Amino acid sequence: MIRKLILVLLLLLGSAHAAEPMVSPYRLLPAFSAPYRYQGAIERTDDDRPYARQIALAAHDTGLDPELVHAVIAVESAYQAVALSPKGAVGLMQLMPETAQLQGVSNPGEVAGNLRAGTRHLRGLMERFNFRLDLALAAYNAGEGAVRRYHDSIPPYPETRSYVPAVLARYRANRPEVAGTGAANLSSRNYLAGTRLSPVAR
């Protein structure tokens, strides 16, 4: 009887250990998503990047790192507020109009609204993917459904497989302490800023 009890306990401990989720080098701790952590970005006067203060405010309101938002914008639109992709994505964060509407924004072409909807959307993806930055970025690019269809992994789409490391590389350059060191493990192809834009918008 005691031997059976010990065996059952060992099996339970083994299964519990096997069920522990893998720790991803891309997982951001919720502490890094606290608005107060990036409060200083709003007061900065030395950031001469386009729309720096507006980006800082939108990021603060959603608890995102402004540097992450900058990285997404640099790759998505190269900071072109009038950017329009062939598929109809608009503005700095290249939002589809229906995505913006889901975030309560009716005019995603306007800078403040675009940033508000884009940061809300990205924050929601971060939460739904347990702060796995690589998966949240993949979902931002290819859609949440695509990431789910491939069992919570980066879909094998050439654009997405190029997009994720491009954003991670930009983010890691400014935030090496939180962006993870495993980005080099992703297949990185040439992904130029604004490559999703139509020739007219470039």
Q: Write down the catalytic residue from 20, 43, 76, 98.
A: 76
> What DSSP designation does 21 have?
P
Among residues 78, 96, 185, the alpha carbon closest in space to that of 143 is found at: 96
Amino acid identity of residue 65, one-letter, is D
Among residues 68, 75, 69, the alpha carbon closest in space to that of 191 is found at: 75
> What DSSP designation does 23 have?
P
Number of H helices, E strands in the chain: 9, 0
The set of long-range contacts for 139-147, using a CB threshold of 8 Å and a minimum separation of 24, is 140/72
Token pair listed for 52 = 């720096």
Note if 76 is an active site residue. Answer: yes
Q: Which residues are catalytic?
A: 76
